[in-house]
Amino acid sequence: MLTINPDGFTARKAKTFQAEKVKKSIIYLVNECIKKLKLQDEKITSTCSLLKNIRECNPEIHFLHYQLQTAMRQQDVSNTRLYLEKTIKAVNNHSLSQDICIASIGNTEWEAFAVAEAIRLTREDCGREAEIRPASNAELELAANSIAGALESMRNHDPDMLDEIQEHVLLIRLFAGKVTMGFTDERILGAMMLRLPGDNIDPVLYYIEHIVHEASHMHLNCLMSMDPLILNARDERFISPIRPDPRPMTGVFHATFVSAKIARTFMKIYQSTKNADLLHPLAETLDETLRGLNEIQRHAKLTSHGKALITSVGSFVKEAISLPEWQMYGFNQCRSHRFGTGKTRVNDLYKAVA
């Protein structure tokens, strides 16, 4: 189970475990509200029974669980009543689609929260102000076609990754804007926000990468609900493979895991299609993985499960750097970064294959 190699069964098991924890927490919070607020509403009481029969929680329920928990910790009676009422309503109206729902970012409360968090984190992490605005109908139609192409490519060349994605991802919310490219969070689990790609970027490759990226964060969050994986103190800071600022080891671990998962999918598609356009993004994501793996091996304090997961990443990297194509790859060639801005960074991969 502790491997970067995806499969639907493992994803379902991890997701179900995480969902059960959230459901138990909501039931506990509701019962505490009944006792502390002296409530005698039959609908409130029946919500707990209804929740037990829900297989998984949608992003709205995850968000409302967080808000109810926060209100109760702050002993805010007004907000506790508000979010208790909203949670009960959401549980009673709960439904899930069989297919991933693709839409422009909307104005629901949980989406507004996600937008605000993405902007705040971008400001704190890199000192830049992100722009996030809804996609137009024309933009949405183009994006939906490209996402369909990305999912079809994985269906044909990496079906195990598609199975994992379909287990974890319920909603894709698209936006136009600047700076931030995507966002997901345990508090909106099951949903991802993705920025529309620039005109100079292959949209199918872009969506393959970003869907795998955010889905892999979801998967790792579910695994970490089963085992912490990382034992480093929260105030410790380390070099991140994809961000300029020092990050907690949890952040380094997430970034490395996600980069490895993306690189693995790119390699699978390349080996199946021999499309040389994939070597450039594969080289960059492998380089990110190598940088993160080095930092983890030097500084991480891991549980036995965490060690097993990193061993799996290391095994994949060993396989990936042995591709004969790297012997002919122009490492010294001047290339733009795969996202269209800045220069490519592949020095660690170059050293590894030399």
Q: Given the DSSP bridges, would you call strands 182-183 and 191-195 parallel, antiparallel or unpaired?
A: antiparallel
pLDDT score, position 41: 78
Query: Taking a C-beta distance cutoff of 8 angstroms, is the pair 57, 189 a contact?
Result: yes
Residue ranges for the chain with pLDDT beneath 70? 1
Structure tokens at 154: 């994985």
Beta strands 101-104; 171-178: pairing state? parallel
Tell me phi and psi for residue 302, to 5 degrees.
Answer: -120, 150
Q: How far is CA 161 from CA 52, 166, 168, 328, in A?
A: 29, 9, 11, 29
DSSP type of residue 278: G
pTM here is 0.96
Contact 349, 326 (CB under 8 A): yes
DSSP reduced 3-state for 191: strand
Would you list the DSSP string of 189-216?
A: TTEEEEEPPPTTS-HHHHHHHHHHHHHH
Q: Which residues make beta-bridge pairs with 255?
A: none
Q: What is the pLDDT of residues 57-100, one digit of tens each?
A: 999 999 999 999 999 999 999 999 999 999 999 999 888 777 89
pLDDT at 89: 93
> Which residues, 6 or more positions from 66, have their beta carbon under 8 angstroms from its beta carbon?
187
Residue 1, pLDDT score = 67
Q: Identify the helix (H) or strand (E) that includes residue 176.
A: strand 171-178
Q: What angle do CA 24, 28, 31 make, to 5 degrees?
A: 140
Tokens for 65, please give them. 């669980």
pLDDT at 266: 98
